[in-house]
Amino acid sequence: MRNAILITVFFLFAQNVLGQKQSTLHDSISVFFDEIKRASEKSTGLWDKGLYGPMILIDPQTRELFANESDTTGILKLNGNIYSGVLPGNINIANTAINWNGKRWAMIMLPLPQNKQDRINLLAHESFHRIQPSLGFTLSNVENNHLDQKDGRVYLRLELEALKKAIESSSEKELQQHLTNALTFRKYRHALYSKSDFTENILELNEGIAEFTGVIVSGRNKAQTTTFFLNGIDGFFRNPTFVRSFAYYTTPVYFYLLYNKNKARAKKITAETDLTAYLIRAFNVNIPTDLKTTVENISINYNGEVIIEQEKEREEKTRQLIAEYRLKFIDQPHFEIKFEKMNVSFDPRNIIPIEDKGTVYPNIRVTDLWGILTVENGALMSSNWDKISISNPARTEDKKIFGDGWILELTDGYTIEKDGASGNYKLKRIDR
């Protein structure tokens, strides 16, 4: 009897703790929605359009979601003053904007940053992605593989070092000098790699403008914004690769400095804007004609010798890693999966380009008509995003197929087969 009483007391205690946690989470979610709503209302003039709208905050572990609006199908249930539900497994989770259940949502993964301004920054960034198409911006990313090569990385790092000094400048003359040098490093990098100005521009128009929006809406003062940029750039330098994440740190600094001069300038940006040319005109910068000599002379002011030496060492290590990936996904037997109607989520900070063969994504999740592929130990995405290669299967359990760091959950109507000649595996529709 005593044990039964203890068990009952413990059960009631556990229920009470769980209820408190759920109540606390519910209260926090309400606060988060209120924060971004208020911040958005204060910043309507930035794009002459309200940022606040349908938003999902989601736990990536449980897929439990919390929304500020209902959906059109009734999956989301009202719980107090917010809506909640569970995101279906065929929808990828990421910080992004998605079209789901009749609405376009900003999706943000929990937990959110503890710092209020960082939290609003993130929510505003993804909210901008939600309205981006309505502002005339196309949502597209292209590979910037040159930023995984030594010189590409060197001159991006030097551009960012110059931008760090620009935002710390104490005079207009000092600011102008560092901005000129930053844009000179940028122009030299573009001169080294054909079409790099075009491919970088696409990502900066997509992610860079969104992050600039987050910075402005966050409500940080000048000192706080300076610290945010300095810490952010230093943290960015520790990323394994710059290919898909650089735009979060270049465009926001330039446009923040431009915003301080003229708050209306950002609204003149369109999907066709050449940002480099635009910034050169906006800041009245004169780019030297002899770029090579100029960057050699000014690099020393931005820790150039150390940066070049560090990138030489990295280049050698990267060669070895690429050789391993080539063997795993190209030269030896592998599993190639073609896309039909693909949706994908991944970590943009650690991808590795492999020449003209595509890009290795160490962590990636793909959903398609054939099912769900979850990868935690590398997969090679083709250059034109029409297929993905992983290591050959190790075992099968009903509709689940397992390999080295990956799981494929097949839908009905699909199976896998091995090619006897090459040893490669591929997907096959059963009705074909």
pLDDT tens, N- to C-terminus, the chain (432 residues): 444 444 444 444 444 544 445 557 888 999 999 999 999 999 999 999 999 999 999 999 999 999 999 998 888 999 999 999 999 999 999 999 999 998 999 999 999 999 999 999 999 999 999 999 999 987 776 789 999 999 999 999 999 999 999 999 999 999 999 999 999 999 999 999 999 999 999 999 999 999 999 999 999 999 999 999 999 999 999 999 999 999 999 999 999 999 999 998 889 999 999 999 999 999 999 999 999 999 999 999 999 999 999 999 999 999 999 999 999 999 999 999 999 999 999 988 889 999 788 999 999 999 999 999 999 999 999 988 999 999 999 999 989 999 999 999 999 999 999 999 999 999 999 875
Residue 115 lies in a domain: yes
Both 220 and 326 in one domain: the answer is no
327: helix, coil or strand? helix
The domain boundary, picked from 256, 273, 302, lies at 302
- Do 105 and 215 sit in the same domain of this protein? no
Residue 294 counted as domain residue: yes
| 310 is a domain residue | no
Shared domain check, 151 and 282: yes
State whether 208 and 248 are in the same domain. yes
Peptide bond into 133 cis (omega under 30): no
pLDDT at residue 2 in the model = 42
Residues 349 and 399 in one domain: yes
Same domain, 195 and 297: yes
* Domain end call among 242, 268, 302: 302
Same domain assignment for residues 208 and 164? yes
* 207 & 290 share domain: yes
8 Å CB contact between 417 and 428 = yes
The tally of domains found in the chain comes to: 3
In a shared domain, residues 155 and 290: yes
CA distance 282 to 365: 41
- Residue 37 in any domain: the answer is yes
Same domain, 341 and 260: no
Phi-psi domain of 378 (left: phi exceeds 0; alpha: psi -120 through 50; beta: other): left
Q: Final residue of a domain: which of 69, 104, 135? A: 135
In a domain, 409, yes or no: yes
pLDDT of the residue at 12: 45
Is 6 in a helix, a strand, or coil?
helix
Specify if 311 maps to a domain.
no
C-alpha to C-alpha distance for 236 and 192, rounded to whole angstroms: 23
Identify whether residues 156 and 287 lie together within a single domain: yes
- Residues 120 and 242 occupy one common structural domain: no
Tokens linked to 136:
């005339």
For residue 269, the model assigns a pLDDT of: 94
Residue 82 in any domain: the answer is yes
DSSP characters over 218-254:
TT--HHHHHHHHHHHHHHHTTSS--TTTGGGTSHHHH
- Residue-range definition of the domain harbouring residue 116: 2-135
Residue 307 lies in a domain: no
